[in-house]
């Protein structure tokens, strides 16, 4: 693992975008993020954040100027010391495949979520933060505890 604080928080995209969008629960997510020196995510989460920001613009939740400001802010911050982007490695792929092998026929697991979860497990995380119920339900397949601070 790269040099980072002892208890980094592994956020999926649903939490990271709340650092840039005023979606429901953004205040709580930002407060949680402020408690850690490092936020961690899978490398492909960067693409998901950019897509989510564009979606907000497409849905007219952002003006074009606000969209570009949010995009620029993310681009600036993602390269700083506050974020660690875990690489997608052969071990991540192996963990992903193993989870699908053991998943029941009723398990709903999207490929992007499986990448996040397999990445968190491969890099030694025990907990993942998300506001996505399918993501949270799949976390135990990877030996992870899914946490949503936005649940009532």
- Smallest CA-to-CA distance from 118 within 132, 139, 104, 101 is with 139
pLDDT tens-place string over residues 95-129:
999 999 999 999 999 999 999 999 999 999 999 99
Domains of the chain, each with CATH number or no CATH: 9-140 (3.40.50.1010)
User: Token pair of 87, please?
Assistant: 């690489």
- Average pLDDT of span 136-149: 97
* pLDDT exceeds 60 at position 3: no
Q: What is the pTM of this model?
A: 0.91
User: Token pair of 117, please?
Assistant: 């979860």
CA–CA distance, 8 with 41 (Å, rounded to integer): 10
**Around Cβ 1, how many Cβ atoms within 10 Å?**
10
Residue 152 confidence class, pLDDT cut points 50, 70, 90: low
CA–CA distance, 148 with 152 (Å, rounded to integer): 9
pLDDT in the model for residue 6: 66
The secondary structure of the chain as a DSSP string is: --S--SS-EEB-HHHHGGGTS--TTHHHHHHHHTT-S-EEEETTHHHHHHHHHHHHHHTTSS-HHHHHHHHHHHHHHHTSTTEEEE---HHHHHHHHHHHHHS-TT----HHHHHHHHHHHHTT--EEE-S-HHHHHHGGGGT-EEE-TT--
Portion of the chain with pLDDT greater than 70, in percent: 95
CA–CA distance, 13 with 16 (Å, rounded to integer): 5
């Amino acid at each position: 693992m790269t040099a980072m604080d002892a208890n980094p928080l592994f956020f999926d995209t649903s939490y990271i975008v709340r650092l840039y969008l005023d979606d429901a629960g953004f205040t709580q997510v930002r407060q949680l993020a402020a408690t850690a020196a490092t936020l961690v995510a899978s490398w492909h989460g960067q693409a998901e954040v950019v897509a989510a920001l564009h979606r907000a613009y497409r849905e007219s939740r952002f003006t074009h100027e606000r969209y570009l400001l949010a995009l620029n802010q993310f681009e600036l911050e993602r390269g700083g010391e506050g974020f660690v982007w875990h690489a997608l490695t052969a071990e991540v792929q192996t963990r992903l495949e193993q989870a699908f092998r053991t998943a029941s026929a009723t398990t709903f697991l999207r490929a992007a979520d499986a990448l996040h979860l397999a990445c968190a497990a491969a890099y030694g995380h025990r907990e993942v933060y998300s506001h996505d119920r399918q993501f949270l339900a799949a976390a135990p397949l990877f030996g992870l505890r899914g946490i949503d601070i936005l649940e009532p």
